[in-house]
Amino acid sequence: MTAKTYSISELARELDVTTRTIRFYEEQGMLLPTRRGQERIYTAKDRVALKLILRGKRIGFSLAECKTLIELYDPQGDNRNQLEIMLGKIAERRLQLEQQLLDIQQMQLELDTAEERCRAALLEVPETR
């Protein structure tokens, strides 16, 4: 039985990305298709790697972090190490988001204060006609 392979257009269509996106990740060394003439042939491992990249990017991981996680993936092995590192990265990202949320809330308070001062100052300025 032959392992399932994908063309670049099949992979792009299935994962709803452009072929240019796939080529970019290939240039970064994150996907390693074989070639049949000019045609790129992607394996199930490439498909999983691309899914990990896309998921990682959605939750704010850098390309370097995604690459680290992909390098730890072993389709036949124990992925305990990969999963533990992923959990650590998720915890780090959660802390970053919590800090960003606090920063946004602080900025909103500062905007409220600035707005109140502007409105109060406007009441003191005589109207001109």
pLDDT digits (tens, 9 = 90+) for 64-112: 999 888 888 776 777 788 889 889 989 999 999 999 999 999 999 999 9
Which of the four pLDDT bands, split at 50, 70 and 90, describes residue 1? Answer: low
Q: Which element (helix H / strand E) includes 35?
A: strand 34-36
pLDDT digits (tens, 9 = 90+) for 32-72: 999 989 999 999 989 989 999 999 999 999 999 998 888 88
> What are the residues facing 6 on neighbouring strands?
42
Burial annotation 25-60 (CB, 10 A radius, 16+ → b, else e): bbeeebbebeeeeeebebbeebbebbebbeebeeee
Domain 5-124 has CATH 1.10.1660.10: yes
- Give the model's pLDDT for residue 22: 96
State yes or no: pLDDT of 125 exceeds 80.
yes
